[in-house]
Amino acid sequence: MPCSIAISIAISTANLNGHRCLFHDQRGLLACVAPGANGSAVLKSIVHHLLDRSIYYAFDATGFDRHAAAFDPDDGAVDLSGKVCLVTGANSGIGKATALSLARSNATVLLLCRSEARGLEAKRLIQAEAGHDRVHVEVVDMARLRSVCDLADRLQGERIDVLIHNAGALLSTRTMTEDGLETTWATHVAGPFLLTKRLIPRLATGARVIFVSSGGMYTQRLDLTDVAWHERPFDGVVAYAQAKRAQVILSELWAERLGDRALVAAMHPGWVNTPGVEQALPRFYRFTRNRLRTPAQGADTVIWLAKAPAARLESGRFWFDRKVASTHLMKRTKETESDRLGLWKLCEEMTVDKS
Ligand SMILES: NC(=O)c1ccc[n+]([C@@H]2O[C@H](COP(=O)([O-])OP(=O)(O)OC[C@H]3O[C@@H](n4cnc5c(N)ncnc54)[C@H](OP(=O)(O)O)[C@@H]3O)[C@@H](O)[C@H]2O)c1
């Protein structure tokens, strides 16, 4: 593989923002160095690029450490006093780490959890660690549209600064919700679509809407022909990656539709050591567990997107380790404009009774 990567490298002399582009490969990925960089900086940049191309050494904890070396230490210092942040799936893994960090930055945090007991346990821990009591639990099952509507109704008095769609799961069996939707699609796509739509009037100026997607979506092209898995044997990994692909496209579509009303972002956290991964992918977990990111590392870009100055962000982009990332690694996964419109229409249709 490194050999084919090396062969695919084409020397280029393009200039990007004053940086010299050393090479690009078939996927359009670039390795750039500052003007006047010495030999060791050039070599470092090439190694960095190849490690990122390996996926394994980008999505794992070493990838985070390597990328974090370029983070701006001042970014963590933003105070969120007076801001209201909502996090779905906030009682576990990445969502809990996100909620804790936002609370530590003095935000009021609403933990949107499907189990009240698990939500209250997370609330106790987060309040104790953050040192204030502006942490609240709201019960919602993101896979059930009625439950999403009830939550939106209860939030009518709120002003929302940050809405984080983090709840998710990779399921091994096909189950259908009371709305006639396959549960993976309902949890990741229909539920978040409806919640976003219902909460638009509640969004504060400069609000942020963030989707926690997954690098797994790189393997899939959007396919709307059978999202309920009626016509083929259920494959949980494909259903999950399809839903995560749909989240990324929807974040772009929401960004177009919301314009200056809110900043919309999707991100992927890398491979993170959470109960969700251990349960859903036990073999992958056993093989990688010593290399997985911590939940705090997985949550880092979510938190950064919630806090970074608007001037550093662009709505509708996909982020990884605080940088814009490509949404496709292969030509075959690219959707057409008609697929994108079809996705929006499908989400409208699936949620129409509840809007
Ligand atoms: N860990 C990774 O390597 C990784 C990589 C890429 C993307 N992600 C994404 O990151 C997000 C967080 O996952 P995680 O790894 O932190 O897993 P996790 O520890 O299992 O947390 C998932 C959270 O989502 C909640 N949830 C699931 N279905 C829900 C529903 N229908 N309604 C409300 N809440 C629901 C869970 O609630 P319960 O506790 O009640 O089950 C839990 O709080 C997910 O969207 C996942 O797809 C994770």
Query: What pLDDT is attached to residue 6?
Result: 37
Residue-wise pLDDT for 171-195, tens only, equals 999 999 999 999 999 999 999 999 9
Mean of pLDDT values over 91-118:
98
Domain spans, the chain = 2-54, 79-354
32 vs 100: which has the higher pLDDT = 100
Q: Is the model's pLDDT at 206 over the cut of 90?
A: yes
C-beta of 272 in contact with ligand 1 (< 6 A): yes
Please identify, by atom number, the ligand 1 atom nearest to the C-alpha of residue 188: 45
Query: What pLDDT is attached to residue 44?
Result: 84
Class of domain 79-354: alpha beta
Residue nearest to atom 43 of ligand 1 (CA): 89
State the pLDDT confidence band at 38, using cuts at 50, 70 and 90.
Answer: confident
C-beta of 93 in contact with ligand 1 (< 6 A): yes
C-beta of 236 in contact with ligand 1 (< 6 A): no
Residue-wise pLDDT for 257-270, tens only, equals 999 999 999 999 99
Whole-structure pTM value: 0.92
Q: Which of these ranges, 73-77, 106-110, 323-327, 332-336, has the smallest mean pLDDT?
A: 73-77
In order of 100, 170, 254, 291, the CA distances from 95 in angstroms are: 9, 15, 22, 20
Q: Is the model's pLDDT at 255 over the cut of 70?
A: yes
Query: What pLDDT is attached to residue 251?
Result: 98
CA 102/CA 81 separation, integer angstroms: 10
Q: Which residues have a catalytic role annotated?
A: 240
Mean of pLDDT values over 23-40:
56
Residue-wise pLDDT for 237-246, tens only, equals 999 999 999 9
How many CB atoms lie under 10 A from the CB of residue 80?
21
Q: Is the model's pLDDT at 309 over the cut of 90?
A: yes
Tokens of residue 35, six digits: 């003007």
Burial (CB count within 10 angstroms: exposed 0-12, middle 13-18, buried 19+), residue 228: middle
Query: What pLDDT is attached to residue 258?
Result: 97
Query: What pLDDT is attached to residue 249?
Result: 98
Mean of pLDDT values over 27-31:
46
Query: What pLDDT is attached to residue 158?
Result: 93
275 Cα–ligand 1 center, Å: 8
Residue nearest to atom 45 of ligand 1 (CA): 168
In order of 109, 116, 169, 170, 328, the CA distances from 236 in angstroms are: 31, 27, 10, 6, 21
Query: What pLDDT is attached to residue 242?
Result: 98
Query: What pLDDT is attached to residue 101?
Result: 98
Query: What pLDDT is attached to residue 354?
Result: 75
94 Cα–ligand 1 center, Å: 7
State the pLDDT confidence band at 289, using cuts at 50, 70 and 90.
Answer: very high
The DSSP call for residue 328 is -
Residue nearest to atom 19 of ligand 1 (CA): 93
Query: What pLDDT is attached to residue 5?
Result: 38
Query: What pLDDT is attached to residue 32?
Result: 54
88 Cα–ligand 1 center, Å: 9
Q: Is the model's pLDDT at 8 over the cut of 90?
A: no
C-beta of 277 in contact with ligand 1 (< 6 A): yes
334 Cα–ligand 1 center, Å: 26
The DSSP call for residue 25 is -
Q: Where are the alpha helices (DSSP H) in 228-281?
A: 236-258, 275-280
pLDDT > 70 fraction of the chain, expressed in percent and rounded: 89
CA 102/CA 132 separation, integer angstroms: 12
Mean of pLDDT values over 38-66:
90
User: Which DSSP helix (H) or strand (E) runs through 30?
Assistant: strand 30-33
In order of 72, 94, 315, 354, the CA distances from 160 in angstroms are: 27, 20, 17, 21
C-beta of 242 in contact with ligand 1 (< 6 A): no
Residue-wise pLDDT for 134-158, tens only, equals 999 999 999 999 999 999 999 999 9
